[in-house]
Amino acid sequence: MDMFHDHLVIFLHKEGLPLFCSIDMPIDPNIQGPKKVEEFDPWFFPVPTTLCNVTPGSNHDFMSPVYRAVVSSPVMPDLTVDYDMKKREISILQQDNVKGITENSNPTSTPLKKLDSKNLKTWKDLSEKFHCERRLVTSHDGVSVPLTILFSGSKDINNGAAGILHGYGAYGEVLDKSWCADRLSLLDRGWVMAFADVRGGGGDPSWHQAGTKTNKMNSIYDFAECAKYLVREGFVHQNRLGAIGVSAGGLLVGATINLHPHLFSAAILKVPFLDISNTMLDPSLPLTILDYDEFGDPKVKTEFEAIRSVSPYDKLPSGSCYPPVLVTASFHDSRVGVWEAAKWVAKARDITCTSCSSSIILKTNMTSGHFGEGGRYLQCEDTALEYAFLIKALGE
């Protein structure tokens, strides 16, 4: 939440979708017991689509009735808006331009009291060029898992496309689905980009808990079912589906590949958490004790068994055909030790099918940390390498 003199801004999630609202202050201090948000006459900030991601902007004036935020979606470049919580109006301040796609125009400021079909025209999006759909995928135990699918509007779904499935599923973090211009390169080639909000990730606290400790296998099952859904529904060809996992998402993707070696035809593991058993047994590492709440305490037998059951390093299938994998690591990573990626790559090359192991690549940045090096051009180089690997492995 964000607190102001006359208003309280609350960040919520409902069925995996973000909601922001303001409540007039002060609140009656004599209220007894819990109350629902709806009982305080909240103003839910209007957004162009339910798939929007809303990020707080610079809000440093405690007395201000205006709340600034950045609104974006997979098909809408970042839009800076002011929400006037007193008048319950919004003003568009600025929107990012995409060269060759959106028109170059001066920033506009248009007060809107509500978003109807006419007002939507003031919010520039690329929904005519790219489609974004939200599907619910039934997991192994009947639970519905949100899956966001992004693809070119000119693309015909014909089982022949290449696709990438993103996953994270840890720490209660919502998978980032905000606008990213990097995706245009693959989308323009007809690729499909998908985002699986598996259990263990953000939203309702129970959704997070359902993918932690002894429940961690739910995250892996959810991710696998989302991958199967993309193939079954014809979004992606069965031999052209890749996966991307970053940090704890590397655990998710690595464990899923161990469980289903033929499900993905390529994978990218970025600063991945792969040697979870040994890491959780070493309390001298910076995050180990903090991670007991997330992955389990190895001193508890049932939780240690759960840790071992999902460990990508320990569960590598011997002799199995393994897809091409690009693993990136950072030498000065204080969150995930550089040795985790190195150990996993060495073992994968040693025990998997000899014709496949040559396609497992390790790239180590010797100067950066967990979040990589800053700078626009270095990030472009990293993305170019990843996309070149995917195009080589999955084809145009």
Enumerate the active-site residues: 247, 333, 370
E-strand spans in 248-374? 266-270, 325-330, 360-365
Do 368 and 332 form a contact (C-beta atoms < 8 A)? yes
HSE (CB half, 13 Å, CA atoms) of 54? 23
- CA 315/CA 318 separation, integer angstroms: 9
Q: 196: closest CA among 171, 151, 229? A: 229
Cα–Cα–Cα angle for 199, 200, 206, rounded to 5 degrees: 80
- CA 80/CA 77 separation, integer angstroms: 10
- CA 333/CA 271 separation, integer angstroms: 8
- If one counts every other C-beta atom within 10 angstroms of the C-beta of residue 60, the result is 7
The size of the chain, in residues, is: 396
Between β-strands 266-270 and 130-138, what pairing exists: parallel, antiparallel or unpaired?
A: unpaired
Place of tokens 């940045």: 365
- If one counts every other C-beta atom within 10 angstroms of the C-beta of residue 112, the result is 17
Backbone phi, psi, residue 354, to 5°: -65, -30
Q: What contacts 112, CB < 8 A, 6 or more positions away?
A: 46, 89, 90, 91, 92, 119, 122
Beta-bridge mates of residue 112:
90
SS3 category, 337 = coil
HSE (CB half, 13 Å, CA atoms) of 255? 28
Do 196 and 163 form a contact (C-beta atoms < 8 A)? no
